[in-house]
Amino acid sequence: MKNNRIGFKLGLVIITVFLIVLLFLGFAIDRLFANFYYAGMRKETEDLTSHFTVMANSMDSISEQAMKTFAEFSDVSIFNILKNGEVILHSGVHDSSDRSFIRASDLYKIFSGEKVSLLYEDPAGIRYFVSGQPILDGGEITSALYVMSSTEQMEQSLAGVRNLLMLSGMGAFLLALGITWIIAQILSRPLLQLQSATRKIAHGELETRLEIKSKDEIGTLAEAINNLAIDLQRYRDTRQEFFANISHELRTPITYLEGYSKVVKDQLYETEEEKDRYLDIIYQEAVRLQHLVDDLFDLAKMEEGRISLVPDWIDLSELVEQAVMKVELKAKEKSLKLNFHPSGTASLVQADGKRVEQIVLNLLENAIRYTERGGIDVYLRFESVSVTLIVEDTGIGIPADELPFIFERFYRVEKSRSRQYGGTGLGLSIVKKLVELHNGYIQVSSTIGAGTRFEIHFVLQPETGEEST
């Protein structure tokens, strides 16, 4: 939490955006007030010019004096100018010798009957609003009247407004800075929690869990990280258990192979029958070891996507019946009944016969391994567009909370009695992957103490080869 770079970056972005908005807003307000003051003063100056023009229409000594008095009272300067540029009347504080504001183009407009307005800055740096209008006598334009009004008071008012805007802007910026810091801390806290949790998970602390309960994207990400931690923890536990189990499974046949081969090699047997029995044990353990290695090899290929099917048109009913016959001896050794129930109109199925047989044998051997009394029923149901294979036993059953995981590699039910029941936790994982490779799906239901039921569904495909003939 010390180096909250996420919060700093987030706060920097927010305050930068706010500062840009504040600057644009301040500039807009400043322009709004400036335009308002300039427009008001322009109108005021033009109105004064109109009044002076009316007074100048009756140019006598009284009117001239009234104009001068009015100009001084209004704090403006007036110039009455003939067409040739001669000044016939001047009043006000502005220097009468400064006539640079009088431009020939403006005079031409005024003597053409137009009005002119301009913003002028004298040599001393004082700014004025200048308004020029024509003076009529008998319907003819006799001279031009210029009225100059200083912008000093207006600029002082604008300076006050700008100072107020500056103070307000600084106050708003400081307030926004504080609010932004609080918001950045609030928004970045979940991200820092996510960062801390992922680091712990990366360092192997897979029991780490996030307590973020929000329903937004952060909450979804936290939930995903929690699920990832759960999956990694389960994978680590099952992997450790798998290595322990596989070590035991390998150690047992290797011990038998080593022990009985030494007995045969050193001729420590008494009769040929005893020698044959030892050789038979060596053979059985070698087969068991080969089966374990084959399972591991098949699973590795399926995990890498390197296993390929060799599809052909097979008689699924005959294949399942032969698989049942192959495990019949194992079932009789445990006094279990093994029944096969085909139904529907049998038809050829396009599949890899060797892999389908592996699916059936794995399910049957698994059922026999975990069934102590009763029996196993195998159902094969042909329908119009699909075929269903069911293997149902009366074994120990699978706890409901473990059903979602039984197809995971290395996963084993009844961990406390895994040595008794054997197996490596690979069979069902291989079955599921082979079923999916055949574009099918497998379902399982189970009741503790009553048995387990596996259902496999395949989609039937038309026999294109036969249709073409």
A 10 A CB-CB count for 291 gives 13
**DSSP states along 101-135:** T--HHHHHHHTTT--EEEEEE-TTS-EEEEEEEEE
The model's pLDDT over 319-353, given as tens digits with 9 standing for 90+, comes to: 999 999 999 988 998 999 999 999 988 788 889 88
Same domain, 237 and 123: no
Same domain, 14 and 150: yes
Let me know if 141 is exposed, middle or buried by CB neighbors in 10 A (0-12, 13-18, 19+).
middle
**In the prediction, which pLDDT does 306 show?**
67
A 10 A CB-CB count for 102 gives 18
**In the prediction, which pLDDT does 469 show?**
30
Same domain, 297 and 316: no
Same domain, 276 and 379: no
Same domain, 316 and 348: yes
The model's pLDDT over 356-368, given as tens digits with 9 standing for 90+, comes to: 998 999 899 889 9
Same domain, 110 and 227: no
Provide the b/e sequence for 370-408 (b: ≥16 CB within 10 Å). bbeeebbbbbbebeeeebbbbbbbbbbbbeeeeeeebbb
DSSP character for 124? Answer: T
Same domain, 332 and 299: no
**In the prediction, which pLDDT does 424 show?**
54
User: Tens place of pLDDT for every residue, the chain, 469 residues?
Assistant: 455 677 777 778 888 888 888 888 888 888 888 888 888 888 888 888 888 887 777 655 566 677 777 777 777 888 888 888 788 888 877 777 777 888 888 888 888 889 898 888 888 788 888 888 898 877 788 888 888 888 888 888 888 888 888 888 888 888 888 888 888 777 777 777 887 888 888 888 888 888 777 777 778 888 888 888 888 887 777 777 667 767 766 777 788 888 888 888 888 878 888 888 888 888 888 887 887 787 777 777 776 666 778 888 999 999 999 999 999 988 998 999 999 999 988 788 889 888 899 899 989 988 998 898 999 999 999 988 899 999 999 998 888 888 888 887 656 665 544 444 555 567 788 889 889 888 899 999 999 989 999 999 998 876 654 433 3
The phi-psi region of residue 354 (left if phi > 0; otherwise alpha if psi is between -120 and 50; otherwise beta) is alpha
Helices (DSSP H) in 203-271: which residue ranges? Answer: 217-265
The model's pLDDT over 411-461, given as tens digits with 9 standing for 90+, comes to: 666 554 444 455 556 778 888 988 988 889 999 999 998 999 999 999 887
The Cα–Cα gap between 134 and 57 comes to 10
Structural domain range at position 277 = 219-304
Same domain, 298 and 228: yes
**In the prediction, which pLDDT does 103 show?**
85
Same domain, 386 and 453: yes
339 backbone dihedrals φ, ψ, rounded to 5°: -120, 140
Boundary residue ending a domain (103, 128, 156): 156
- Within a domain: 185: no
- Within a domain: 145: yes
Boundary residue ending a domain (266, 288, 304): 304
**In the prediction, which pLDDT does 22 show?**
84
Boundary residue ending a domain (131, 156, 181): 156
